[in-house]
A and B are shown apart, each in its own frame.
Chain A
Amino acid sequence: NAGVTQTPKFRVLKTGQSMTLLCAQDMNHEYMYWYRQDPGMGLRLIHYSVGEGTTAKGEVPDGYNVSRLKKQNFLLGLESAAPSQTSVYFCASIGSSYNEQFFGPGTRLTVL
């Protein structure tokens, strides 16, 4: 039981490049989330999903897209990376009983 895993752990991009961050969970959780963490701002919700095939916008969705084609995976895409997207990205999941939200280890992204 690996919990929530994120791929990759680190990435450096140039402005305008694209990439996809992968989040996987093996707990059969319905809900999954993508957050970004910036100094002094806590974590802010980018997008979330309440089930396979569904996604919704969070607090800071601009510049990101997401997909949830399989229940266990939640992908975060940056189509044209900008320096403002330099951040640490955390994925999380929770079951429908709303018990503890489990977080992945994070992905540190730098956009030059």
Chain B
Amino acid sequence: AQSVTQLDSHVSVSEGTPVLLRCNYSSSYSPSLFWYVQHPNKGLQLLLKYTSAATLVKGINGFEAEFKKSETSFHLTKPSAHMSDAAEYFCVVRINAGGTSYGKLTFGQGTILTVHP
């Protein structure tokens, strides 16, 4: 079975400083990996996805993530935080097991990002 661990439940940064949200996964099969963002009382928005192409993935709003198979990690980064980045972020894994996974997603516990002025 697959699992996802987000290593920090809360991250606090100052506006203009780098953001690092850490995610480790475990999977018996080749995974697809995603980062979603959820602003307060809003739905889920896809930031970026890795689906076995380039290991460095660029997403929306200046975010990017690097898939490191040897470390089973998919950390999310942004060079300079903005106040509007304050939200909860979810790392998500989808197992590509010959079609038998039926597209099911496994979510991490979430990381709440706070951005201080």
Contacts and interface: CB of A to CB of B under 8 A. Distances in A.
A21 interface: no
Interface stretch (A12-20, A44-52, A71-79): A44-52
A31 B43 contact: no
Given A33-B104, A42-B90, A50-B102, A90 B44 contact: yes
B43 A48 contact: no
B103 A43 contact: no
7 tightest Cβ-Cβ pairs between the two chains A and B: A42-B107, A43-B107, A103-B44, A94-B103, A105-B43, A42-B109, A31-B103
Nearest to A94: B103
Contacts, number: 48
A111 B32 CA distance: 35
Contact of B110 (A42, A56, A100): A42
A101 interface: yes
A61 interface: no
Contact of A48 (B4, B102, B106, B109): B102
Interface string B4-43: 1000010000000000000000000000100000000001
B22 to A, nearest CB: 15
B43 A106 contact: yes
Nearest to A108: B41
Contacts of B90: 42-43
A40 B109 contact: yes
Interface hub of B43, B46, B90, B103 (most chain A Cβ within 10 A)? B103
Contacts of A2: none
Contacts of A101: 94, 103, 105
B107 A58 contact: no
